[in-house]
Structure 1
Amino acid sequence: MSEVITRSEPDGSVPPETPEVRWAPAEPAPKRRHLGLKIGIPVAVVTVGAVAASLVLIAPGTAVAGVPVGWQTPGMAADTVSSHVAGMTVSLGEGGPTVSAADLGASVDAGSLADAAFAQSPMWNLGSWFSEVGGAEISLDAERATATLRAAAPELYTDPTPAAVSFEDSSYTVSPAVDGSGIALEDVRAALEDGLSDGSATVVIDPTAEPVASATTTEMAEATADTLNEMIDNAGFYAADERVVAVSATKLASWLTVDTDASGAFTITADPAAIQATVDGLPEKVDQDPESAEVLTSESGAQLVTLVEGQDGRVLGDTDGIARDFAEQLTGGNAAYDLPVEVTPRETVTTTRLAEVDLSEQRIYLRENDKVIDTWLISSGREGAVTFTGRYSIGWRTPLQDMSGTSRDTGSKYTQPDVPWVMYFNGNQAFHGAYWHDNFGNRMSAGCVNMPPHLAKKLYDWLPNGADVWIHA
């Protein structure tokens, strides 16, 4: 927009000749054109992109186990190597059936190989271009490979016979496994690995047979049979450490099923319903009243002989769930079941026995808990060969013995054959029977205490080793 300016005289009039003057605003100065900058930006972008690409791509000409992976990221290279391996094929002999590596479950650690290739040959390192990364190890999925090869060449396979466990004649026995045969997977794997290194998409092998072991081995069967036979040895229902109801081998085997699982391992299962019939009969076999034990002791309290074992009282608790719990326990190989019982401990009655010999009376007294229960005449050592007085105990005994020695009173030697029911209590002095005289009640012996043979037998049976003997005048 322009501005109009007029000139006036001092009196305010405008001279006619005064021209009209208009001022127009100044136009902006023209901008300088930067042609070089417009050209440089795309070049810089390209340059930065190339540098960035060189930081993430594998160098041109690089190969992993013969597979070109140049100009690829490690992830792309891993896919390339995996796809190449999966696309390989194996021919079983010239003109024979062909299977793909993918069907064999062939694989490589492509990720590690691609990472190794990038680490060794990044694109930015011009000196590493056109390099080779080897060391590719192919692995096979054994189950898948075997199924594929067997389908392609069934004539090269025979099935192995698995080991078996069976119950015969009160124990478990083993039938050993027998190997089958099939194509050696290592030959196939090695051929694929060689083909990968050589750049061959198809490899040919002359298939060789190798033994194929059963998944259920003889060793597994033997271990299972050992477990089952140990179960037979211990099978039963227990109260504390006592097996109160035994389970026979045949009955235990009727409860059990021995089978194998998908891996070929043996399994043991048990039928709770079959066990329940035995559980139902437990109360009448387990429950019992307590009975006192009877033992012989010396005067010092040492236990010498158990006369009556006695028994603890027992009452069986709740039997619900025993069959189920025992069945579960049997699957783990344990055939000893601890019953829920309430126990009343037995009482123990002690008895002390003493053989007392009164030399002045020439008589023996049999004392039980200090009460005389029997007595009879004896013959002790004569004058000069006396029976020594004192407190003794029964040591070694024998039902029959030839006796010989030297009399202390006469010094003469003697021999007495077949002396019955001999019990020594003090050195070579003993109780025994005497068949060569009947003058009992008088001192007749060379130091022993003798008596009629039938009474010597009675004493022999009544007085145990370690029991007390008292000889006095």
Structure 2
Amino acid sequence: MMSVGEVSREEGDASTQTYAWAPTPPPKRKRHLGLWIGAPAGVALAGVIAASLVLIAPGTAVAGVQVGGMTPGAAAAAIQAQLDRTAIELTGDGVDATLTGAQLGATVDARALADAAYSDHPMWKIGAWFSDTAHAQVTLDHDTAEAALRKAAPALFEDAKDATVTFDDKSEKYVVGEAENGAGVDLDTIATGLQDGFAAGKAAVPVAATQVPTDPAISTDTANKTAKQLNTLLDKVGFYVGDERTVPVDRAVAASWLIVSPRDGSFDITADASAIDKVVATLAKKVDRAPQNGTAITNTAGTVLRTDQQTLDGRKLGDTTGIAAAFASQLAAGDSVYKLKVDVDKATTTKISRYAVVDLSEQRAYFYQNGKLWNSYLVSTGAAGHATPTGHFTVFAHVPLQDMGCVPGYDYCTKNVPWVTYFAPDIGFHGTYWHHNFGHVMSHGCVNMPISTAKTIYDWAPEGMEVTVQP
């Protein structure tokens, strides 16, 4: 704005006055002192509010650690740091050592404890301030703690002795060396002492070093079970064709294949395939064979009474590649029966039926094979008063030499009667050395024969063969 002012003009009439516009004076400024004072206070208040949303309430403690006013992350670090510093002072005969929680591998779940402290006691929650101390469970790392204690107090430790399993050459069996307990420090006592000191917020606490027995890694019971398993392997070890143990393996040889190693409280069993391969190289000579036809003796119904010639199929061993490695795997798994693959050439069995007829009227014995007369011989059967019984009988016993009679109740005694083939009670074919009157009744009921003939029938007639005695 402009204002009206006076201006004198010298030109013209000096008394004449003129007027012009002039600038308006600036207005007076207002002072805002309250705003400058209030802004910092507002910022501070906002900071307090924000902090209350992320900090743990004052007076909050975890074990012996005050965590009020800390973030959960800072609280977790403080909890573990305090545990690391907390120490135990070992006491006892000849023991003088101090170990910290850090040296003992002590830990707590610090992060979970800190998060729980914040969750239950946030700073913004006034009613949660100055709460009871939270419990923190201390855990020791077994290996770290034992190593530290062994170094600090070696006199308290004695190593346990593991059970062993070894092959004994004399007995050809696996035998067990028994386990022995050792000694060490009771880690539960150490953990409890450290726990108490940590909870109380103490820098160090005395703990009596308590010695306790320690178990071996491998017990005698475990070794016994392993030895039994191995000896069972040796009982059956071999190369089989079907159910036949065609190539048995010597127990000591098989034991030389096996490697028994302690591991994780037990034993690992492995086998050396290269050692097995040396035996595999010899298998063909022991397995391969030509077929062998057999002979079986039957009764007239076809029931096999005796095998005179065993029937054996021919066989030829197939490709042996991979047998050693496969058998090594089987042995490690506890199976010592290796089934070989062979090509089979079938053999045949010839069946021969046999039976005998003794004709009392002819004093002759007839022997038949497959329904045809095989041979006949003059004999001497029972004389008067000792008649040979008639009927159908079966051979039930063979006695190479015996006395006949010679006991109370018999009216005769004949010593050393050879080649007796019994087919009825007290009645049989047998050799006769006391007479040669064959073709006539002479005996006490048996069928007398020349000694050589009796031996032939002894060998020819199996148990179960039918014998008919006819008038």
Change (3 A) 1:384 1:222: closer
- Per the alignment, residue 11 of structure 2 pairs with none
Change (3 A) 1:207 1:273: same
SS at match of 1:284: helix
Deviations 1:362-406 (A, max 9, x none): 111222223333321122344676444433211245442544899
SS at match of 1:132: coil
- Per the alignment, residue 310 of structure 2 pairs with 309
Task: Say whether residues 1:414 and 2:411 are aligned partners.
Answer: yes
Change (3 A) 1:85 1:348: farther
What residue identity is the alignment partner of 1:99?
A: L
- Per the alignment, residue 372 of structure 2 pairs with 371
Deviations 1:281-302 (A, max 9, x none): 2112211111122221111121
Task: Say whether residues 1:256 and 2:258 are aligned partners.
Answer: yes
- Per the alignment, residue 353 of structure 1 pairs with 354
- Per the alignment, residue 89 of structure 1 pairs with 87
Task: Say whether residues 1:103 and 2:98 are aligned partners.
Answer: no
- Per the alignment, residue 234 of structure 1 pairs with 236
SS at match of 1:349: strand
Deviations 1:152-205 (A, max 9, x none): 233433333333333331332222233332222122122123323433342222
- Per the alignment, residue 146 of structure 2 pairs with 146
Q: Quote how far apart the aligned CAs of 1:313 are.
A: 1.3
- Per the alignment, residue 16 of structure 1 pairs with none
Change (3 A) 1:58 1:415: farther
What residue identity is the alignment partner of 2:357?
A: E
- Structure 1 segment 451-466 matched on structure 2, within 5 A: 451-466=449-464
Identity %: 43
- Per the alignment, residue 166 of structure 2 pairs with 166
Equivalent-residue separation in structure 1 for 2:468 and 2:123 (angstroms): 113
- Per the alignment, residue 267 of structure 1 pairs with 268
Q: Quote how far apart the aligned CAs of 1:146 are.
A: 1.0
Q: Quote how far apart the aligned CAs of 1:76 are.
A: 6.9
- Per the alignment, residue 428 of structure 2 pairs with 430
Equivalent-residue separation in structure 2 for 1:119 and 1:319 (angstroms): 72
Q: Is the 1:398–1:421 Cα contact (8 Å) retained in structure 2? A: yes
Q: Quote how far apart the aligned CAs of 1:128 are.
A: 6.7
Change (3 A) 1:211 1:346: farther
What residue identity is the alignment partner of 1:92?
A: L
Structure 1: gaps spanning 5 or more residues: 1-37, 407-411
Q: Is the 1:117–1:133 Cα contact (8 Å) retained in structure 2? A: no
SS at match of 2:411: strand
- Structure 1 segment 51-200 matched on structure 2, within 5 A: 53=53, 61-69=59-67, 81-93=79-91, 96-109=96-109, 130-132=130-132, 136-169=136-169, 170-200=172-202
SS at match of 1:414: coil
TM-score for the superposition, normalised by structure 1: 0.76
Q: Quote how far apart the aligned CAs of 1:145 are.
A: 1.3
Equivalent-residue separation in structure 1 for 2:233 and 2:303 (angstroms): 39
Deviations 1:315-349 (A, max 9, x none): 11111111222222222233322222222343222
Q: Which moved more, 1:242-251 or 1:438-447?
A: 438-447
Equivalent-residue separation in structure 2 for 1:348 and 1:125 (angstroms): 101
Aligned alpha-carbon RMSD (Å): 3.8
Corresponding residue pairs, total: 426
What residue identity is the alignment partner of 1:356?
A: V
- Structure 1 segment 32-47 matched on structure 2, within 5 A: none
Change (3 A) 1:172 1:197: same
SS at match of 2:367: strand
Change (3 A) 1:416 1:453: farther
Equivalent-residue separation in structure 2 for 1:75 and 1:376 (angstroms): 115
Change (3 A) 1:242 1:60: same
- Per the alignment, residue 285 of structure 2 pairs with 284
Change (3 A) 1:184 1:359: same
Structure 2: gaps spanning 5 or more residues: 1-37
Equivalent-residue separation in structure 1 for 2:379 and 2:114 (angstroms): 110
Equivalent-residue separation in structure 2 for 1:73 and 1:464 (angstroms): 102
Equivalent-residue separation in structure 1 for 2:133 and 2:398 (angstroms): 93
Q: Is the 1:65–1:132 Cα contact (8 Å) retained in structure 2? A: no
